[in-house]
């Protein structure tokens, strides 16, 4: 007979088998094998008539959960029971966090083993860790199980009590959640700030200076001893200078006059300050910080990051990826320091091991930060990984190794210059010793390139020097609205506010995208009109549910339950059934919520109402029989909806689209329309005979009000054939792409692109001008006058004409296009790499978020179909739990 070991996934099972002695059989539970019912069809007939059955929690019997085995898990349970028949011992080896503890407890309840049962935990899957864990098994932690169960019940109560209310009052299929609704409110509040934002304009001067053959820049800071206004001096709600600020606000006329007055006047250095700055490395990754950096650097969604990290953990490459801890074990400290000394040298090693401590009181998900697994760290190139797995492992490896490196020493240099009564400032930064920056720079793929970006070298100046001014320019500025949340900044805010657990952020963000509360566009989370309507309703009638401080306190209580500092049952009773409990509030408020008002989003636009309908948001104007409605394009957000766009949408609905005129050759009408992705021109009308008329987006700087018939005809004719190249005979075209206008030489060796300059017009650029542009060398994006020689130039990117090159980095060769870097996959060489392959690698990185959403939606659809079953298994209630060597009786 064998010892049966149960883990969550087949991947984890395959890896752990390699480290167990003979006589051990490893099976996978495929995640949870038991849960609350997900649909009415899963509710057992015996309790279906009970008023609490839809909740899946008997609120009248001490919140007893109704557990069922989903249809798709019955075969797995049968397999595990059969395996148990031939076992002499059962080891439950699910993950070490609350979720894993809960899975082990449910397995124990279902299998009801009559043999000795143990709970085995480990935070990495290596031979040493598994063998150590085998010798140190324990019983199931009842407090962790109870804490997880309370959390699950609480989330069910919130979701299943509020969501039906949203269906009745706003739209079918909406959902509310304990953390989800707070996250949506954060997005909505930011969008409200953007909508309330009023732009401010100001001017200043920029100088190009020369000293001892070295050039540097300076900006105007004071005039006659008074500070010159900058963006920070403006009130974002008025667009005016904040009351009480003593600043000089320059307009264009004043800035131009000042420029003329200062031109040709002598400059002098009035003050110079050099300030040493020491930077320390960041701690190793936690779940939250890994999600943030992966989103910033790799453009991976939180959900995708966790999926990749889970695979890396289960294959034995990294330690457990759900953790709030920044602590590194002694074994990890030694391994990281060995890497530093071997790859960078003794000088780059911190004098003493850096030991990080976790500040969060609730940190308990695991006992160590996310790091490479094992007592020695494999470099990314030694793993044999590729694609996203390589990228995420590379990120974790660099962050861990950098955490044991020496400080970075820098010098901040500030130079004050004076010309007549105008004060200018020039700022520089010198990296005296890069320290940990040699391995890892937050927000940058390539440490070497980031070091170049960070240095700003000034000439050797001293007080009294007289640099020459080669050019003085008047520059206009406009203040910018608050930036929208990215996944990284939303995760950071949720964690800093103490809302939810980092291990759940990926699923929360995925849910609010899938439910239509936000759109992910260019890595920005943009709330929809539906998000506004739901947030308005919850703020007005259930303010605590979307109050970050209330949710944070709730999270703390759930943590206290896991440590025994709080009692779960009194808390649930107070939250749900108390005098001000959720159930009580919903019953009181339901009759007071007007459905028409709940479906209306108030953006304070006169004579226009924005409603949420069955097919999305729409405009409504007029009264009685004169009511006119018009659908709002999917990608038109609340912050971007202004009176001009409203009038265009209503006019399109009432009178049809604006007709610019007729095409001079075909006679077809040309229309100007506003679509989901902005304004565009269209040739001809849509019909059965012409279902897809030709369309062209309006380029930057051209609006529906300013576009002419001639411009529209030109746009619809793109790409323009300019002629042939005199040397190759290949065609040259002008076109408008995703990154702006460009010309392309369709050479046999590959397409050669060049972006048009600001003064060029894609509709009029000539063959001669195109040849001039194509003759220019391709420009990279080097900073501070520095550039790194490419190992290999692959050519121009087909979308924007920017160069795609291969460079040598500290951990091997990598492909660079503008600001995107991709490591060369294992098994491929610099010599073998082609432009097509490089573009494919770069594209896969850029399309991560989009593919993730599609995948998630398809998986979600599949998951829903599996819940449609007319039979359910016999329920097992928590109050009837049995005791064993794996866990005592639940109380």
Residues present in the chain in total: 891
Burial of 686 (0-12, 13-18, 19+ CB in 10 A): exposed
Task: Please state, as a whole number, how many other Cβ atoms lie within 10 Å of the Cβ of residue 867.
Answer: 15
Looking at 172-315, which runs of residues are DSSP E strands?
Answer: 201-211, 214-223, 226-227, 268-279
Contact 789, 830 (CB under 8 A): no
Per-residue CA distances from 306 to 291, 292, 294, 852 (Å) = 8, 11, 10, 12
Q: Which of 313, 320, 393, 517 is catalytic?
A: 320
Q: Could you give the CA distance from residue 548 to residue 497 in angstroms, rounded to a whole number?
A: 7
Tokens read off for 259:
């420029």
In 58-173, where does DSSP find H-type helix? 74-85, 98-111, 127-134, 142-169
Per-residue CA distances from 217 to 357, 415, 426, 460 (Å) = 42, 11, 6, 14
Query: How far, in whole angstroms, is CA 166 from its chain's centroid?
Result: 27
Q: Could you give the CA distance from residue 812 to residue 155 in angstroms, rounded to a whole number?
A: 47
Tokens read off for 651:
């006019």
- Give the neighbor-by-neighbor strand order of the sheet with 600-601: 600-601, 609-613, 616-621, 628-631
Q: Could you give the CA distance from residue 428 to residue 849 in angstroms, rounded to a whole number?
A: 37
Q: Could you give the CA distance from residue 216 to residue 650 in angstroms, rounded to a whole number?
A: 53
320 is catalytic: yes
Task: Please state, as a whole number, how many other Cβ atoms lie within 10 Å of the Cβ of residue 691.
Answer: 7
Tokens read off for 160:
């299943």
Task: Please state, as a whole number, how many other Cβ atoms lie within 10 Å of the Cβ of residue 199.
Answer: 11
Q: Give the residue carrying structure tokens 């320019």.
A: 473
Residue 272 has, within 13 A of its CA and on its CB side, a CA count of: 12
Task: Please state, as a whole number, how many other Cβ atoms lie within 10 Å of the Cβ of residue 301.
Answer: 26
Q: How is residue 372 annotated by DSSP?
A: B
Contacting residues for 517 by C-beta, under 8 A, at least 6 apart: 184, 187, 527, 528, 530, 531, 534
Return the active site residues: 320
């Amino acid at each position: 007979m064998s010892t049966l070991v149960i883990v969550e996934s087949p991947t984890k099972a395959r890896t752990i088998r390699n480290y167990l002695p003979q006589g051990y059989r490893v099976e996978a539970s495929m995640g949870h094998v038991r849960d609350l019912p997900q649909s009415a069809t899963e509710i057992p007939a015996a309790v279906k008539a009970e008023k609490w059955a839809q909740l899946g929690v008997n609120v009248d019997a001490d919140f007893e959960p109704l557990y069922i085995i989903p249809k798709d898990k019955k075969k797995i349970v049968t397999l595990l029971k059969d395996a148990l028949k031939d076992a002499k011992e059962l080891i439950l080896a699910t993950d070490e966090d609350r979720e894993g503890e809960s899975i082990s407890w449910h397995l124990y309840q279902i299998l009801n083993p009559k043999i000795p049962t143990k709970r085995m935990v480990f935070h990495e899957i290596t031979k040493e860790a598994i063998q150590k864990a085998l010798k140190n098994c324990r019983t199931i932690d009842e407090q962790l199980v109870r804490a997880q169960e309370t959390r699950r019940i609480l989330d069910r109560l919130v979701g299943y009590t509020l969501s039906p209310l949203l269906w009745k009052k706003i739209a079918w299929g909406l959902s509310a959640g304990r953390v989800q609704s707070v996250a949506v409110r954060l997005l909505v509040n930011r969008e409200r700030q953007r909508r309330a934002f009023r732009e401010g304009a100001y001017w200043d001067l920029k100088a190009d200076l020369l000293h001892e053959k070295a050039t540097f820049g300076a900006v105007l800071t004071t005039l006659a001893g008074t500070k010159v206004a900058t963006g920070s001096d403006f009130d974002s709600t008025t667009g005016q200078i904040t009351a009480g600020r003593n600043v000089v606000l320059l307009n264009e006329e004043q800035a131009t006059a000042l420029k003329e007055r200062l031109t040709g006047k002598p400059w002098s250095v009035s003050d110079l300050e050099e300030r040493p700055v020491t930077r320390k490395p960041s701690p190793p990754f936690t779940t939250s910080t890994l999600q943030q950096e992966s989103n910033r650097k790799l453009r991976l969604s939180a959900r995708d990051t966790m999926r990749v990290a889970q695979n890396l953990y289960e294959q034995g490459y990294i330690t457990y990826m759900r953790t709030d801890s920044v602590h590194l074990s002694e074994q990890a400290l030694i391994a990281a320091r060995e890497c530093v000394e071997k790859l960078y040298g003794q000088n780059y090693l911190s004098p003493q091991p850096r030991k990080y401590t976790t500040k969060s009181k609730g940190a308990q998900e695991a006992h160590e930060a996310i790091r490479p697994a094992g007592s020695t760290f494999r470099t990314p190139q030694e793993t044999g990984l590729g694609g996203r797995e390589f990228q995420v492992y590379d990120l974790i490896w660099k962050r861990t190794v950098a955490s044991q490196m020496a400080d970075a020493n820098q010098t901040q240099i500030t130079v004050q210059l004076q010309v007549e009564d105008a004060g200018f400032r020039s700022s520089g930064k010198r990296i005296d010793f890069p320290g940990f920056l040699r391995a890892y720079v937050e927000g940058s793929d390539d440490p070497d390139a980031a070091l170049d970006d960070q240095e700003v070298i000034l000439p050797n100046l001293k007080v009294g020097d007289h640099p020459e001014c080669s050019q003085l320019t008047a520059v206009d500025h406009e203040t910018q609205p608050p930036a929208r949340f990215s996944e990284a900044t939303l995760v950071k805010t949720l964690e800093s506010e103490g809302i939810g657990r980092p291990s759940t952020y990926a699923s929360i963000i995925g849910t609010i995208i899938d439910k239509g509360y936000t759109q992910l566009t260019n890595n920005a989370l943009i709330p929809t009109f539906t998000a506004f309507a739901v947030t308005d309703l919850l703020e007005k009638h259930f303010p605590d549910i979307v109050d970050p401080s209330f949710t944070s306190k709730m999270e703390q209580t759930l943590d206290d339950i896991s440590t025994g500092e709080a009692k779960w049952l009194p808390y649930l009773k107070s939250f749900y059934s108390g005098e001000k409990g959720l159930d009580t509030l919903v019953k009181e408020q339901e009759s007071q919520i007007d459905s028409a008002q709940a479906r209306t989003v108030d953006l304070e636009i006169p004579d226009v109402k924005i409603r949420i309908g069955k097919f999305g948001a729409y405009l409504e104007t007029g009264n009685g029989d004169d009511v006119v409605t018009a659908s709002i394009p999917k990608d038109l957000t609340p912050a971007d909806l202004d009176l001009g766009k409203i009038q265009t949408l209503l006019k399109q609905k009432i009178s049809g689209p604006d007709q610019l005129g007729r095409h001079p050759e075909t006679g077809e009408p040309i229309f100007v329309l506003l679509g989901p992705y902005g304004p565009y021109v269209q040739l001809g009308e849509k019909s059965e005979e012409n279902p897809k008329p030709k369309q062209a987006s309006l380029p930057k700087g051209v609006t529906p009000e300013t576009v002419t018939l001639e411009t529209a005809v030109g746009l619809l004719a793109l790409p323009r054939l300019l002629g042939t190249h005199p040397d190759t005979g290949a065609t040259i075209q002008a076109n408008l792409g995703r990154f702006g206008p460009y010309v392309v030489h369709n050479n046999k060796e590959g397409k050669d692109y060049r972006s048009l300059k600001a003064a060029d017009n894609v509709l009029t650029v000539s063959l001669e001008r195109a040849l001039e542009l194509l003759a220019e060398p391709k420009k990279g994006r080097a900073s501070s006058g520095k550039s790194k020689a490419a190992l290999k130039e692959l050519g121009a990117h087909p979308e924007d004409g920017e160069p795609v090159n291969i460079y040598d980095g500290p951990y091997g060769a990598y492909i660079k296009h503008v600001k995107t870097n991709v490591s060369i996959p294992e098994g491929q060489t610099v010599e073998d790499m082609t432009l097509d392959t490089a573009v494919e690698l770069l594209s896969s990185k850029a399309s991560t978020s989009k593919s993730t959403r599609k995948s998630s939606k398809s998986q979600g659809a599949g998951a829903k179909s599996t819940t449609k079953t007319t039979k359910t298994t016999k329920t097992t209630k928590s109050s009837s739990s049995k005791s064993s060597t794996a866990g005592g009786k639940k109380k």
